[in-house]
Amino acid sequence: MKRFVKRLKDITKRTINLLLNRTSGILDIRSVETIMDEELEKHLQPGKKTILYIAKRYDYGKKDWGLSFEHYNFYNALLRAGYSLVYFDYDRIKQKYGNKKMSQILREAVFYYHPEILLYLHTNDWVDHSLWKEISNELPTKTVIFLLDDNMQYENTRSIWELFNLVVTTDKNGYEKRKKEGFNKVFLSQYACNPFIYKNLNLPRIYDVTFIGRCYGERREFVNKLKEKGIDIKTFGQGWGSDKRILQSDLIKIYNQSKISLNMSLSYGYIYTVKGRDFEGPACGALLVTMDSEDIKKYFIPGKEIITYKDVDDAAKKIKYYLEHEKERKIIIDNGYNRILKDHTYERRFNEIFNFLDQMDDKKNLKNF
């Protein structure tokens, strides 16, 4: 009986705390100006271009899952690049204050900081559309929406991306489709690497081959076939015997302990797309072995900077060869690393996007571009 009463008290306490957490922000009597001033993260640099950066802080918006891919790569790269940065982590603010007040706080931030660029990493349609229209059409701030899943979300996000001065996509098909529709305010970019985080730590290379990523689609079958062909591959991520998310520190360490980093992007029948994994492994000193495609050839020279494979037999053959030929492997690794530093950092990607915006004399030209 005592255990039951104690358990009931614990459940009641947790429920009350949960309700308080969910309503505390919504019932906050402070003005939106005060909340904006206290909640936003500011890294102001006088004389530098001011960017209002809007993106999730946590992975899929879940705090217990750790920091998001965007936070490690986009936010950190912008911060290190020396921009005057104002960070609006809209998932946390929305959860704390609700959609309506979150949009009001964002509006106050635009009018207070007058950023030259508003950069929005879209994941959820939480911001009031009338606010996007106001900023894009009435204010000097140039609005940019960056779409990372455009290959799967083109139509689902149309009502949002049409509201921005510039759409940035990593999907070539999405880019060309907009052009055909007469929507010219689009820029084709790509994933890259944040070399401030992903770097060679000169650790012992204890793994022959590693794959980092969730286990789904065709990945398990591919890995099992490699093992049948004698490849000693180690897998890390959810679904490979564990449901725990890999910490960023562990991910970097695994890359640094790998001789070869395998990438498999073809899952659930989706068309192959270049991903961040294609850049992160080589930046940490591992040889990238990734799927052959026309897209990957735009960013690396196969056989010189990375290794590509056509199928599992080809992958196994090439993995065995480069494990046995260390000198050749290291030459390709060095070439791939140098190519990343030269052409494939997020600082460079953002510079390309912002330079594209700077080609427009004013907002009127941008709208008619």
Q: What is the CATH number of the domain that holds 58?
A: 3.40.50.2300
Residue 306 and residue 228 in one domain: yes
CA distance 129 to 117: 18
Task: Tell me what pLDDT residue 225 has.
Answer: 96
8 within domain boundaries: no
Task: Tell me what pLDDT residue 358 has.
Answer: 85
355 within domain boundaries: no
Residue 253 and residue 143 in one domain: no
Q: How many CA atoms lie within 13 Å of 82's alpha carbon, on the beta-carbon side?
A: 5
359 within domain boundaries: no
244, 301 Cβ separation under 8 angstroms: no
Task: Tell me what pLDDT residue 20 has.
Answer: 46
196 within domain boundaries: no
Q: What is the CATH number of the domain that holds 287?
A: 3.40.50.2000
| Residue 271 confidence (pLDDT) above 90 | no
7 within domain boundaries: no
Residue 73 and residue 148 in one domain: yes
Task: Tell me what pLDDT residue 236 has.
Answer: 94
Residue 45 and residue 129 in one domain: yes
| Residue 248 confidence (pLDDT) above 70 | yes
pLDDT tens-digit map of 253-268: 999 999 999 998 754 4
Residue 183 and residue 135 in one domain: yes
Residue 236 and residue 270 in one domain: yes
Q: What is the pTM assigned to this prediction?
A: 0.85
336 within domain boundaries: yes
Backbone angles phi, psi at 338, to 5 degrees: -65, -35
Residues of 35-67 as b/e, b for ≥16 C-beta within 10 angstroms?
Answer: bbeebbeeeeeeeebbbbbbbbbbbebeeeeeb
Chain-wide mean pLDDT for the chain? 89
Task: Tell me what pLDDT residue 267 has.
Answer: 46
Backbone angles phi, psi at 276, to 5 degrees: -60, -30
Residue 224 and residue 181 in one domain: no
84, 48 Cβ separation under 8 angstroms: yes
Which of 159, 188, 217 marks a domain boundary?
188
pLDDT band for position 246 (cuts 50, 70, 90): confident
- 234 Cβ partners below 8 Å, 6+ apart? 207, 209, 210, 211
CA distance 184 to 217: 35
pLDDT tens-digit map of 78-129: 999 989 999 999 999 999 999 999 999 999 999 999 999 999 999 999 999 9
Selected residue with higher pLDDT from 24 and 252: 252
Residue 232 and residue 329 in one domain: yes
- Longest CA pairwise span in the chain (Å): 75
Selected residue with higher pLDDT from 86 and 148: 86
pLDDT tens-digit map of 172-217: 999 999 999 999 999 999 999 999 999 999 999 999 999 999 888 7
168 within domain boundaries: yes
pLDDT band for position 243 (cuts 50, 70, 90): confident
Number of domains in the chain: 2
Residue 251 and residue 321 in one domain: yes
Residues in the chain: 369
Residue 166 and residue 98 in one domain: yes
176 within domain boundaries: yes
The three-point CA angle 202-206-210 to 5° equals 100
Residue 155 and residue 231 in one domain: no
Question: Taking residues 323-330, what's their average pLDDT?
Answer: 98
Residue 266 and residue 300 in one domain: yes
Task: Tell me what pLDDT residue 359 has.
Answer: 84
Task: Tell me what pLDDT residue 268 has.
Answer: 45
Which of 158, 188, 218 marks a domain boundary?
188
What domain range is 164 assigned to? 30-188
Task: Tell me what pLDDT residue 36 has.
Answer: 94
| Residue 319 confidence (pLDDT) above 90 | yes
pLDDT tens-digit map of 17-54: 445 445 445 566 789 999 999 999 999 999 999 999 99
pLDDT band for position 218 (cuts 50, 70, 90): confident
